[in-house]
Amino acid sequence: MLFQDIIGQQTVKERLIQTVLDQRVSHAQLITGPAGSGKLPLALAYATYINCKNRTATDACGVCPSCIKFKKFVHPDLHFVYPTIKNNDKEISRDYLPEWRSLLTETNGYFDLQDWYQHIDVENKQGTIYAKEAEEIIKTLNRKSYESEYKIMIIWMIEKLQYQAAPKLLKLFEEPPEKTLFLLITESPEEILSTIKSRTQMVKTDRIDEASMRAAILQNWGQKDETLVERILNLSEGNWLKVSEHLQKDDNDQRFFEMFKSWMSYCYKGQVAEAAALSEEFSKMGREQQKAFFGYCLQMMQWGLQNLAFGKEKIKTIGAELDFISKCTTFFTVDSIPVFTEMFEEAEYHIERNANPNILFMDISLKSMTLMYKTRKK
Ligand SMILES: [Zn+2]
């Protein structure tokens, strides 16, 4: 991770860089700020910069052996601690390192606790930084550094530190092993022991500014639809995690819209073979996606009703979707929409309970054909 990969946070970046140039890197720093501001990416860029062999006044080189290892999160002097769950033979951060690295690689460090728990399949549990972890940290830091000047220990979400672990860590922050740097990250500084806060230097990040968000959306997603970008900027409020969430949802919706449109058109024209081919495609999507698709169909039905009742100005969508739903009044009528709605709701329910997606999809297709035929004849 380089500073140039960080979205926004220009002032913080410059300040961190200056500490290195002035050789006054504080040995324990607490990086705070709201969700999605990029605290972990900043810590990673800082760590990379500190150990880069050819850094410039603005960034690490990105190509020296140290930078390459930092980029892959495998540098022997880079250590991570994060909340974990006791699970069979797993307990401390080291036990979860492969999962941790893979999430870092996938997201460039832009993820939150929920994403992490989901990634390690423990969605309904709360992670902790256990007391055993503190012993592990001490062991790790007492070893000599392997290759670089600084050993760097990134502790992510330090607010999850078990109370019993605190005294050992405090001692470390007070008398750190030589050339050791602690980068602590938190979203809830108010939950952290004041004794930890008083021993660390605070690095405060803020919500990402709008111009940087806009530029990053264009660069990362190639999204140029201005109305959509503005809508997403508004919804995201400087939180990069929300941008991905909204854009992903939008990507999905786009795909679902195309599918829904074709499907309904086949049903309207009674094209059984085409519907069967689509059914085949549908059955290959994952179960969650299948459920989400029926969720999307339900959303369309709701818009259809709103259109009939209040006119298209009241529908909260734009572009082709709006166009489609406001023009489909020949088969989405006051009488047929409730029937469609019930079918989609039932489908969602049956998918959840492992129904055969192909049979289910075809069943609804045939029912829709009959329903549309009747609606047309009226
Ligand atoms: Zn380098």
Asked if 357 and 365 touch (Cβ cutoff 8 Å), the reply is no
- Whole-number Å distance, alpha carbon 48 to ligand 1 midpoint, is 7
Which amino acid makes up residue 48?
T
Q: Which residues contact 108 (CB under 8 A, 6 or more apart)?
A: 1, 5, 41
- Whole-number Å distance, alpha carbon 99 to ligand 1 midpoint, is 25
Asked if 216 and 4 touch (Cβ cutoff 8 Å), the reply is no
DSSP element (H, E) containing 297: helix 287-310
- Whole-number Å distance, alpha carbon 75 to ligand 1 midpoint, is 12
155 in helix, strand or coil? Answer: strand
- Whole-number Å distance, alpha carbon 51 to ligand 1 midpoint, is 7
39 in helix, strand or coil? Answer: helix
- Whole-number Å distance, alpha carbon 318 to ligand 1 midpoint, is 46
Domains by residue range for the chain, with CATH: 3-206 (3.40.50.300), 241-377 (1.20.120)
Structure tokens at 53: 């062999």
Buried b (16+ CB within 10 A) or exposed e, 6-18: bbbbeebbeebbe
- Whole-number Å distance, alpha carbon 171 to ligand 1 midpoint, is 32
- Whole-number Å distance, alpha carbon 105 to ligand 1 midpoint, is 18
- Whole-number Å distance, alpha carbon 54 to ligand 1 midpoint, is 5
CA distances from 315 to 215, 255, 299, 325 (A): 29, 20, 11, 9
The strands making up 151-156's β-sheet, listed across from edge to edge, are 78-81, 151-156, 180-185, 28-32, 201-204
- Whole-number Å distance, alpha carbon 45 to ligand 1 midpoint, is 11
Distance, in Å, from the CA atom of 185 to the CA atom of 249, rounded to the nearest integer, reads 28
Distance, in Å, from the CA atom of 140 to the CA atom of 77, rounded to the nearest integer, reads 9
Distance, in Å, from the CA atom of 160 to the CA atom of 39, rounded to the nearest integer, reads 16
What value does the mean pLDDT take over residues 239-259?
86
Distance, in Å, from the CA atom of 147 to the CA atom of 369, rounded to the nearest integer, reads 69
- Whole-number Å distance, alpha carbon 56 to ligand 1 midpoint, is 9
Structure tokens at 346: 């039932």
- Whole-number Å distance, alpha carbon 44 to ligand 1 midpoint, is 13
- Whole-number Å distance, alpha carbon 104 to ligand 1 midpoint, is 19
- Whole-number Å distance, alpha carbon 221 to ligand 1 midpoint, is 27
Distance, in Å, from the CA atom of 9 to the CA atom of 140, rounded to the nearest integer, reads 31
What value does the mean pLDDT take over residues 195-214?
94
Asked if 127 and 20 touch (Cβ cutoff 8 Å), the reply is no
- Whole-number Å distance, alpha carbon 64 to ligand 1 midpoint, is 4
The phi and psi torsions of 108 (rounded to 5 degrees) equal 60, 25
pLDDT tens, residue by residue, 268-323: 999 999 999 999 999 998 888 899 899 999 999 999 999 999 988 877 776 788 88
Tell me what percent of the residues of the chain surpass a pLDDT of 90: 69
pLDDT tens, residue by residue, 32-58: 999 999 999 999 999 999 999 999 999
Q: Predicted confidence band at 148 (pLDDT cuts at 50, 70, 90)?
A: confident
pLDDT tens, residue by residue, 216-234: 998 887 777 787 888 788 8
- Whole-number Å distance, alpha carbon 58 to ligand 1 midpoint, is 12
- Whole-number Å distance, alpha carbon 146 to ligand 1 midpoint, is 16
Buried b (16+ CB within 10 A) or exposed e, 78-100: bbbbbbbbeeeeebbbeebeeeb
Q: Predicted confidence band at 330 (pLDDT cuts at 50, 70, 90)?
A: confident
Q: Which residues contact 23 (CB under 8 A, 6 or more apart)?
A: none
Q: What is the pLDDT of residue 231?
A: 78
User: Can you list the positions of beta strands (E) in 92-234?
Assistant: 151-156, 180-185, 201-204
Place of tokens 């006119």: 311
